[in-house]
Structure 1
Amino acid sequence: MAQYVINQMDTFHGDVSFIGIPYEAFERTGHWSLWGVVRMFEAARLIGLYNGLFYYKSMEGKGIGLVVITQAVRLSPDLHRDYSLFKTLKQRYVLDIVEVGRRSFSFVTRLTNEETGQFLGEILLKYVLIDRSTRKSIPLPEAFLEKYSKHTKKEIKFRKLSIPSCPDMGKNVFKLKVLPLHSDTDRNNHVNQSGYFRFCIDCATDAALAGNYRHFTSDMCWYPVLEMNVYHANESLVNEELVVNTWQDNEDFRLIFFIIKRKDTVLFKASFLFYPEMSKRKRNSRM
C-alpha cells in the first residue's frame, strides 16, 4: 500500500490522504490511467473499511468478501490533464456511508488535491457481501442492520447515464476478445473491478483506430473520462474468454457504451462520457 495518513475515521465517515501516485497507475501516455484512478479509490475505501468504517473488519470472515455491483463516477478533466509522471499530488479522499440495505451498502468517495482543495473526482459505489465458497450474495448481519437502520440517506448528485442494450447486428458495434490472467484477479479470485475499465479503454482504442467512432480516431488513453455509470452483473474468472462490445451514441459523440460478455452471459455494462479534447503531452513526463 502506498504511504497514507488517516485524518479521521468513524463508522459513517472517513478521511484519508495519500502522498504521491504509484508508478503503475500511469499508462502509456504518461497520464494517470482510468483503471489506476479507480484502483486508488478502491485503496481509499479498503483503508476505511479496515480501520473502523462500517465496522467491516469485525464482519469479514475467511469465507466472506466484498463485491462491487454498481458505480456512478464523476471525474474532473484536470485529473488526467494535470497529473502526469513526475508531478506530485497529495490526494485526499473523503468517504461517507450514504445508504444501507439488507444485502448491500453504498457510500460516496470524494477526491481532492489536499494542498489546493481542487475537486478531482467522486464515486458513488454499492457493495454486497458474498460467500466466497458459493459465490452468492448474503444478507448483512442483523446487528449491523439494527445499528444502521436509522441512518438517513444523504443527498446524492450524480447524473444517470443510460446503458442501452447492445445492438444485435451492424458495423457500428466493435468487438474485442480478451483473456483475463491471474494478474487480473484480486482477493476474491475473480477479475478486479479496475480490470474491466482497462478492457474497455483497450477496446475503445482499437475501435477508434479502426474508424468505428465519430470524432475519436486515435489512442483513447489521451481523452479524459468525465462520467461513467457501471453495472457489474456477474464475475469473471481466470482464463475465461471475454468479448468486449462497444458502440457510440447516435446523438452525443462523447458518449460511448460497453458491454462485456462471457459467451451469452453479460458480466459488465457501462456508459462512458469522454472529454472531446486530448490531454496535452507533458514535457517533464518525456512522453
Structure 2
Amino acid sequence: MALNTLYDKRKRKDVVEVVYHGIPYAEFDKTGHWSTWSLVRMFEGSLMLSASLSPCTQTVTSHEEDYILLRQHCEISPRYYQDITIQSNFNPRIVFGCQEVGRTSLNFKVKMFNQHTEYVYATNMRKMVNFNKRTKKAVPNNPFYLEQAEGLNGMRPKYSWPPFPDNVPSKVFRKKVFPLHSDTDFMNHVNNSSYIRFCLDCCACAAEAKFYNYFEADFHYPVLEVDIQYLGESFANETLDISTWQSETDICDLYFIITHKHKVIAKTFLRLGLTKLKKITYADSKL
C-alpha cells in the first residue's frame, strides 16, 4: 500500500491517493467478484489512512470532535465486474478530494482506478459532519478552514443528492437481522458498510420468496448504484428490521428502510443490473 499527495492543476486543488497492492481474498463474494460492501469499506479505510495527509480532514477544533458519516452515494461501472474477479491482478488506486464545505459538514468525492489507468471503476460521494462526541450534536468546522474553503465552494455547483420515496408502500418484504460484534467498527457502532451487506442479504431472501419481479433466488446480480442515508446508530446484539420493496417504474431499483424499535436507522437505495454475474468456479481459478 502507498500513500501520495498530489496537486490537480486543472482543478486547482490538492487531492490524496491511496494505492493498494492487490485485493484480499476475503473481499470477494460467493460469485468470485469484489463485494459491494467490501468496496465501500475500502473507500472508508482509504479516507482514514490518508487523513494525516489531507488538510480536508484536519479541521476539528477539539479532542471531543470527530467526523461521522451521514450519507454516501456510490456508482459502480459494469466494467468493475468484468475486470475485477478473484482471478484478476488488480491494484486499486483510490483518489479523493474535498468537494464541498458546509458550516458543520464536508463532502468528499472519491474515485477508484486501476493503478496505471485513468478509467473510473467506481465513484463514492460521502457527506461527513463534525460531531461532538460528548453532546452528540453537530458543531462548526474550524473557522480558519472555513475561510480557506470559500474558494473551493465557488468552483463547482452544489452536489444534489438523489431523493428517496416519501412513502413506504403497504406491500413490503420484511426480514430481521442481528448484528454481531464483528459487524461493528472502532466506535462500537454497526459499521456503515454492514448495512449494505444486510440489505443485500435481505434482497436474496426476498428473491427466494419470489417477492421481486424478475430477480431469481440465487441473486447473482451486479450492484450499479448505492445510496444510503444514516439516520441513527445501532450496536451488536440489537434486532434490526429491514423492509424492502421494488420500484413500480423500474424493476432495477430497490428500496430499504432499516429500523430498530420502530426508529429509522438507515434508508437505502440499490440499483441492480439485469444480467447475472458469471460465477467464478474452482475449475476457472488459476490456483
Instruction: Identify the match of residue 257 of structure 1 among 255, 258, 264.
Output: 255
CA distance in 1, matches of 2:169, 2:247: 15
CA distance in 2, matches of 1:193, 1:15: 22
Indicate whether 1:201 and 2:188 are aligned: no
**Counterpart for residue 29 of structure 1:** 31
Aligned-partner residue type, residue 216 of structure 1: F
Q: 1:209 to 1:153 in 2, by over 3 A?
A: farther
Please state whether the residue corresponding to 2:41 is helix, strand or coil.
helix
**Counterpart for residue 84 of structure 2:** 83
What percent identity do the matched residue pairs reach? 32
Structure 2 residues not aligned, in runs of 5+: none
Please state whether the residue corresponding to 2:80 is helix, strand or coil.
helix
Q: Is the 8 A contact 2:32 2:86 kept in 1?
A: yes
Question: Deviation string for 1:230-267 (max 9, x for gaps)?
Answer: 21111112222111111100121000001101122111
Output aligned runs, 1:24-63, within 5 Å: 24-56=26-58, 59=60, 62-63=63-64
Q: 1:7 to 1:130 in 2, by over 3 A?
A: closer
**Counterpart for residue 132 of structure 2:** 131
1:53 Cα shift?
3.6
Between 1:115-124 and 1:257-266, the stretch displaced more is 115-124
Instruction: Identify the match of residue 278 of structure 1 among 273, 276, 279.
Output: 276
Instruction: Identify the match of residue 229 of structure 1 among 227, 230, 233.
Output: 227
**Counterpart for residue 174 of structure 2:** 175
1:91 Cα shift?
1.1
CA distance in 2, matches of 1:154, 1:175: 44
1:196 Cα shift?
0.6
CA distance in 2, matches of 1:160, 1:139: 22
**Counterpart for residue 189 of structure 1:** 188
Q: Is the 8 A contact 1:243 1:260 kept in 2?
A: yes
Q: TM-score w.r.t. structure 2 length?
A: 0.88
Between 1:112-121 and 1:68-77, the stretch displaced more is 112-121
CA distance in 2, matches of 1:150, 1:119: 26
Please state whether the residue corresponding to 1:19 is helix, strand or coil.
coil
1:211 Cα shift?
0.3
CA distance in 2, matches of 1:223, 1:4: 32
Q: 1:273 to 1:60 in 2, by over 3 A?
A: farther
Q: TM-score w.r.t. structure 1 length?
A: 0.88
CA distance in 2, matches of 1:115, 1:55: 27
Aligned-partner residue type, residue 204 of structure 1: C
Q: Is the 8 A contact 1:13 1:53 kept in 2?
A: no
Please state whether the residue corresponding to 2:165 is helix, strand or coil.
coil
Please state whether the residue corresponding to 2:153 is helix, strand or coil.
coil
Question: Deviation string for 1:162-204 (max 9, x for gaps)?
Answer: 321453532xx11111112221111222111101100000001
CA distance in 2, matches of 1:54, 1:158: 17
CA distance in 2, matches of 1:68, 1:131: 13
Aligned-partner residue type, residue 198 of structure 1: R
Q: How many residues align?
A: 281
Structure 1 residues not aligned, in runs of 5+: none
